[in-house]
Amino acid sequence: MTQTNFVELRNVTKRFGSNTVIDNINLAIPQGQMVTLLGPSGCGKTTVLRLVAGLEKPSEGQILIDGEDVTERSIQQRDICMVFQSYALFPHMSLGENIGYGLKMLGTSKAEIKQRVREALALVDLDGFEDRFVDQISGGQQQRVALARALILKPKVLLFDEPLSNLDANLRRSMRDKIRELQKQFNITSLYVTHDQSEAFAVSDKVLVMNKGHIMQIGSPQELYRHPASRFMASFMGDANLFPAAFADDYVDIYGYRLARPAHFASRGEGTVGVRPEAITLGEQGDDSQRCVIRHVAYMGPQYEVIVEWHDQQILLQVNATRLQPNVGESYYLEIHPYGMFTLPDVE
């Protein structure tokens, strides 16, 4: 299947006064895909959304939607809907009126609005909620109404700005899955913004990691987690233990512990190997070079988070609670599983 890029930012820079908030970024979303911008607070995510929506004009560069240059177009001329962290519903209108508001502005007939509002409410599992008011429903239901209000307009592009941030932890997962399900069902090209890594992974085809107005890496969740391109990416994508390593033709040597060389390793000579905590286990036997001592144990329910000392380095790992009950001071043999290993180039 060939995919055309439906939303494109070309060499876009945005300055507020002398402050460069977005620094020459390129971004492309293929038709029907959900791409997520992930990055720490203040890195410029909302600014990118506002640029795509037409709420801000770029200082430099171009924005294209569906093959057309929309850089100079207003939000009304872009056929885009945005779902915010705050639901921005009108308190004096019923939910039905809230959802149908956009269609009413477009001059759609009352009968059609009524029918489409009913369908939109069904999509977000709020059948029959037309006549209720905002203060009669929960926060999670309000965000569903906000989603229905966007979907009913069948926009070319949907934008989400941290839509789960105001929801309780237990509601986040169901709302997240609902957003992804409907985005796929209607094949809506979407740009989603969050600072939460697991949320980004769960909803996205591709993730773009941003930092200080720059794009650090673009890839599928698996690519970013398994093959981070820099130290920043390795630590931003979860916990990582970084080791000095020597690379030979058929093995990798870490503190004298020799591991079969993973096929995807390109490095020669000396370098840095990263290992995710879940790829390290504690064994009962091994080589002397693998000996480690438990320094800290935290019980997390499904697993223990354990810090061991290995060759004067503190190593974070996870122990499945059904396998082993670790205690501080115990000695084990550390084992590394090649699946969770990556090499790092010498860039920050």
Which residue, 21 or 188, is less far from ligand ADP as judged by CB?
21
**Residue 240, φ and ψ in degrees, nearest 5:** -145, 135
List the interface residues with Mg ion, window 44-103 (CB under 5 A).
46
- Degrees, nearest 5: CA angle 136-134-34: 120
Which region among 39-47, 108-116, 229-237, 320-328 touches Mg ion (by CB under 5 A)?
39-47
Min separation Cβ 309 and Mg ion, Å: 40
Min separation Cβ 49 and ligand ADP, Å: 8
The residue to which tokens 């820099």 are assigned: 230
Which residue, 163 or 326, is less far from Mg ion as judged by CB?
163
Per CB under 5 A, 343 contacts Mg ion: no
Name the H helices within the chain.
45-53, 95-105, 110-123, 139-151, 169-185, 197-203, 221-226, 231-236
Min separation Cβ 163 and ligand ADP, Å: 13
Name the residue among 144, 125, 124 with its Cα closest to residue 134.
144
The SS3 of residue 48 is: helix
Which residue, 36 or 46, is less far from Mg ion as judged by CB?
46
Min separation Cβ 254 and Mg ion, Å: 40
Which residue, 39 or 228, is less far from Mg ion as judged by CB?
39
Q: Which helix (H) or strand (E) holds 294?
A: strand 291-299
Min separation Cβ 3 and ligand ADP, Å: 27
Which residue, 163 or 277, is less far from ligand ADP as judged by CB?
163
- Binding partner at 44 among ligand ADP, Mg ion, none, C-beta below 5 to 8 Å by kind: ligand ADP
The residue to which tokens 């990055």 are assigned: 39
Which region among 29-37, 41-49, 143-151, 199-207 touches Mg ion (by CB under 5 A)?
41-49
The SS3 of residue 242 is: strand
83 class by beta-carbon count within 10 Å (0-12 exposed, 13-18 middle, 19+ buried): buried
Min separation Cβ 221 and ligand ADP, Å: 19
Which residue, 41 or 222, is less far from ligand ADP as judged by CB?
41
* Residues forming the site for ligand ADP (CB under 6 A): 16, 21, 39, 41-47
Phi-psi region of 193 (alpha: psi -120 to 50; beta: other; left: phi over 0): beta
319 class by beta-carbon count within 10 Å (0-12 exposed, 13-18 middle, 19+ buried): buried
- Degrees, nearest 5: CA angle 134-137-142: 65
Which region among 12-20, 42-50, 165-173, 177-185 touches Mg ion (by CB under 5 A)?
42-50
- Binding partner at 170 among Mg ion, ligand ADP, none, C-beta below 5 to 8 Å by kind: none
Which residue, 44 or 277, is less far from ligand ADP as judged by CB?
44
- Binding partner at 54 among Mg ion, ligand ADP, none, C-beta below 5 to 8 Å by kind: none
Min separation Cβ 16 and ligand ADP, Å: 3
Tokens representing 32 are: 């029907």
- 95-105 vs 139-151: helix crossing angle, rounded to 10: 20
The residues that touch Mg ion, with contacts defined as CB under 5 A, are 46
